[in-house]
């Protein structure tokens, strides 16, 4: 059994989750402090990938980064490499599709944060950066960790946008989701079931980790 789809899915999910963590947390932090009108607009824009069909997201990525586009042609001319139909193309799609889960969860955590802790720290001369990293993040860690795990799980199971942007090439761009579809398409249901079970197992472990973490937080 070729384990490349598992390896590729895990590395794509891990890389995109790292990107999502930093971009999502920082976006949630600054937007939670924004004026209501601006917050409402930005919130809609950043949450939009959550409700858009993955194929629509894939279509926009292709139009933006294909060799015929301005950005795609620039990358092609500079690096002599196209950015789509590669394994790393899936990082773009999984990051966009999974981002709202991190953003919404982190923003909710920041909005429920007790600002009195920040005021108290400022009276002691603590900088804003130090307050963010040493006070806010540890206080809001439950929501942030939950958002991170959910983003990873969503990235791992992403199919629609990934299949359009990265395609399916065994040993090069294949992921668990695209492999399941291709095996089903050619009638190899027995092999498809193996990958389905692997995906279900990983998803079960991820969700169990969230519940276990939340349960421990409630005890604390």
Cα–Cα dist 189/169, whole Å: 19
Q: What is the mean pLDDT of each run of 10 residues along the chain (220 residues)?
A: 90 95 92 86 91 92 87 82 88 94 91 86 86 87 87 91 92 93 92 92 84 66
To which H or E segment does residue 101 belong?
Answer: helix 89-111
pLDDT tens digits, residue range 119-168? 888 888 888 888 888 888 888 888 888 889 889 989 998 999 999 999 99
To which H or E segment does residue 76 belong?
Answer: helix 70-79
pLDDT of res. 39: 87
Which runs of consecutive H residues, i.e. helices, occur in 112-188?
A: 116-123, 128-131, 137-139, 141-157, 160-165, 176-185
Alpha-carbon distance values, 157 to 125, 130, 149, 169, 187 (Å): 45, 36, 13, 17, 21
- Give residues with Cβ within 8 angstroms of 196, minimum separation 6: 180
4-219 adopts what CATH topology?
MetI-like fold (1.10.3720)
The DSSP call for residue 134 is: I
Alpha-carbon distance values, 62 to 87, 99, 113 (Å): 14, 18, 39
The alpha carbon of 203 is separated from its chain's Cα centroid by a whole number of angstroms, namely 15
To which H or E segment does residue 214 belong?
Answer: helix 189-219
Does pTM surpass 0.85? yes
- Give residues with Cβ within 8 angstroms of 41, minimum separation 6: none
Spell out the domain ranges in the chain: 4-219
pLDDT of res. 152: 92
Quick one: which of 12, 3, 1 has its CA closest to 157?
12
Cα–Cα dist 99/20, whole Å: 6
């Amino acid at each position: 059994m070729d384990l490349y789809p598992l390896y590729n899915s895990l590395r794509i999910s891990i890389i995109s989750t790292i990107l999502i963590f930093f971009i999502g947390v920082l976006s949630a932090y600054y937007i939670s402090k924004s004026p209501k009108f601006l917050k409402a607009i930005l919130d809609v824009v950043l949450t939009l990938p959550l409700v858009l069909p993955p194929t629509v997201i894939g279509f926009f990525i292709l139009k933006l980064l294909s060799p015929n586009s301005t950005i795609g042609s620039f990358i092609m001319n500079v690096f002599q490499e196209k950015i789509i139909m590669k394994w790393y193309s899936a990082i773009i799609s999984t990051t966009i599709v999974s981002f709202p889960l991190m953003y919404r969860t982190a923003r909710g955590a920041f909005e429920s944060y007790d600002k009195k802790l920040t005021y108290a720290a400022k009276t002691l001369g603590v900088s804003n950066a130090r307050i963010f990293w040493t006070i806010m993040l540890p206080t809001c860690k439950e929501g942030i960790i939950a958002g991170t795990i959910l983003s990873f799980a969503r990235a791992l199971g992403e199919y629609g946008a990934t299949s359009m942007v990265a395609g399916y090439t065994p040993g090069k761009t294949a992921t668990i989701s695209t492999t399941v579809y291709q095996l089903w398409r050619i009638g190899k249901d027995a092999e498809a079931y193996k990958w389905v079970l692997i995906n279900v197992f990983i998803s079960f472990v991820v969700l169990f980790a969230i519940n276990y973490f939340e349960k421990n937080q409630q005890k604390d």
